[in-house]
Amino acid sequence: MGRCLESGTASGAWEVFTQAVFQGLIQCAVSLEHMRRGNPRGAVRVYESALTKFIGCPEHYLGIDHFSLRQALGKMVAQLRTMPAEVFEPRAGRGLTLPVDLSKAPKIKHDDFD
């Protein structure tokens, strides 16, 4: 994004930043899907990747409270990290019973006036 700003194309920088934020939102959803499928390794790895997409993002951006989303999902991932190391091995597979309550998964609330 810095190169876009240095070249004087602020709209290009905004597009790059917004694309990264959307990628982060998608990765948050994918992390939850990994949890639903019982894949703790995938859930943690995709969540960690998602966090990098929100660097420099304000708490509320594009009408979405990104901070609360990351915080709630982070609590779920923290529960996964309490599992034994062997469940995070690449060959551990899916279908494991995970210590998370998916009914409490974060939901995105869009506020047009934010």
**Domain membership flag for residue 99:** no
Please tell me the distance from the alpha carbon of residue 60 to that of residue 70, in angstroms, as a whole number.
12
Domain membership flag for residue 89 = no
pTM surpassing 0.75? Answer: yes
Q: Is residue 15 part of a domain?
A: yes
Domain containing 64 — which CATH number? 1.10.3450.10
Instruction: Using alpha carbons, select from 108, 39, 102, 112 the residue that is nearest to residue 75.
Output: 102
> Is 113 contained in some domain?
no
**18 within a domain of the structure (yes/no):** yes
Range of the domain at 58: 2-82
In a domain, 101, yes or no: no
Residue 22 domain-assigned (yes or no)? yes
Tell me the pLDDT of the chain averaged across its residues: 86
> What are residue 99's phi and psi, to 5 degrees?
-85, 45
Domain count, the chain: 1
Residue 98 reports pLDDT greater than 60: yes
Which stretch of 10-14, 69-73, 105-109 has the lowest confidence by average pLDDT? 10-14
Instruction: Please check whether residue 23 lies inside any domain of the structure.
Output: yes
Q: Give 60's strand partners.
A: 65
For residue 1, what pLDDT band results from cuts at 50, 70 and 90? Answer: very low
